[in-house]
Amino acid sequence: MKDPLPIFSFELFPPKTAEGMRKLKDQVTRLRAVEPRYISVTYGAGGSTRAGTFETVDWLCDQGLVTAPHLTCIGATRAEVRDLLQRYREQGIQRIVALRGDLPSGMGSGAHGDFRYANELVAFIRAEHGDHFHIEVAAYPEVHPQAVSAARDLDNFVRKVEAGADAAITQYFFNADAYFSFVDNCRSRGLEIPIVPGIMPITNFTQLARFSDACGAEIPRWIRRRLEGYGDDIASLRAFGHEIVAGLCQRLLAGGAPGLHFYTMNQANSTLKLWDRLGLSTRT
Ligand code: FAD
């Protein structure tokens, strides 16, 4: 279903320390000023960030912010997921980002859990709660790293939508054509849901390279080489990164993307700089 207004949202991860939580609250105070549609909070697969996710979600809700907890199903039982959903529903939450997740190495294959893939989680949420939750799922314009092929990955994405997903957020990417091609393929399969690009600000090359290798997001060679070349010159790296990501966002919005989901990395600066540059306050 086409959303009449653009969807601009922010993603946070739960801090591991009290100091991290204090910093996060400062960052959120700045981020909320631009009135994003919602703020999502990641959840470690296997419940590894359970306490931190709850603390962050509780605090965001107390601030009156529209909050979307992520919920991963790998390694979880139906009873555990049922309890989580009940907790969130009682808290007034109406948005969930439903994911499979990846178990950290050492936690086994997840064979003991009741869910294998995210489409099963989406179906479970719909079966238990009807239309109460607005469900977002993950999409991979550059193909999920474990997928046997792009075509099978698309089939699997279709399964999540058929199971009841309302919208999707993509893995981050730096190649707008990958996004447009993916959206075209989805439309030709009859999928109408909003597919919101996930945007990763560039602030730290080592961290970006590590994440990108893990999640299968391609950093185009020329961008990688330029970023590498800045070495310790963080100011120049960030200025270049800002130009690249701002240009990407402009192209995505001009090409019809229904909004943007910013992976803030719990840092307001880079996201708000992009927000201002793109003039998003006038579009929400
Ligand atoms: P799925 O949609 O289940 O897909 C996983 C793989 O299995 C794909 O290769 C797919 O092609 C294949 N597949 C899917 N269904 C089937 C099927 N029925 N039969 C056979 N193969 C199938 N991880 C976290 O741990 N916590 C988070 O909070 C978190 N948030 C994220 C938010 C976003 C927006 C994104 C894009 C990713 C996030 N991740 C998070 C990472 C995510 O958990 C991993 O990418 C994970 O590997 C896949 O999750 P998924 O929900 O896309 O899985």
| pLDDT attached to residue 13 | 98
Mean local confidence (pLDDT), 208-215: 96
**pTM greater than the 0.95 cutoff:** yes
In a domain, 284, yes or no: no
| pLDDT attached to residue 38 | 98
Q: Work out how many domains the chain is built from and give that number.
A: 1
As a whole-number percent, the residues of the chain with pLDDT over 70 amount to 95
| pLDDT attached to residue 3 | 64
| pLDDT attached to residue 103 | 77
| pLDDT attached to residue 282 | 74
Does any ligand 1 atom lie closer than 6 A to the CB of residue 153? yes
In a domain, 188, yes or no: yes
Does any ligand 1 atom lie closer than 6 A to the CB of residue 118? yes
Average per-residue pLDDT for the chain: 95
| pLDDT attached to residue 117 | 97
Mean local confidence (pLDDT), 233-254: 98
74, 117, 121: residue to mutate for ligand 1 pocket, most atoms within 8 A of CB: 117
- Buried residues in 5-20 as b, exposed as e (16+ CB within 10 A): ebbbbbbbbbbeeeee
In a domain, 2, yes or no: no
In a domain, 283, yes or no: no
In a domain, 1, yes or no: no
**pLDDT, tens digit, 9 for 90 and up, residues 23-55:** 999 999 999 999 999 999 999 998 889 999 999
In a domain, 249, yes or no: yes
| pLDDT confidence tier of residue 213, bands split at 50, 70 and 90 | very high
**Catalytic residue positions, numbered:** 11
First-to-last C-alpha distance (Å) of the chain: 18
**pLDDT, tens digit, 9 for 90 and up, residues 164-193:** 999 999 999 999 999 999 999 999 999 999
Is the pLDDT assigned to residue 127 strictly greater than 80?
A: yes
Give 71's strand partners.
Answer: 98
Q: Domain residues for 39?
A: 7-278
In a domain, 59, yes or no: yes
In a domain, 95, yes or no: yes
**pLDDT, tens digit, 9 for 90 and up, residues 84-120:** 999 999 999 999 999 999 976 666 554 569 999 999 9
CATH of the domain at 246: 3.20.20.220
DSSP string, 48-113: TTHHHHHHHHHHHHHTT--EEEEEE-TT--HHHHHHHHHHHHHTT--EEEEE---PPTTS--STTS
**pLDDT, tens digit, 9 for 90 and up, residues 67-80:** 999 999 999 999 99
| pLDDT attached to residue 111 | 58
Please identify, by atom number, the ligand 1 atom nearest to the C-alpha of residue 155.
11
CA dist., res. 173 & res. 200, Å (int): 8
Q: How many CA atoms lie within 13 A of 122 on its CB side?
A: 25
Does any ligand 1 atom lie closer than 6 A to the CB of residue 75? no
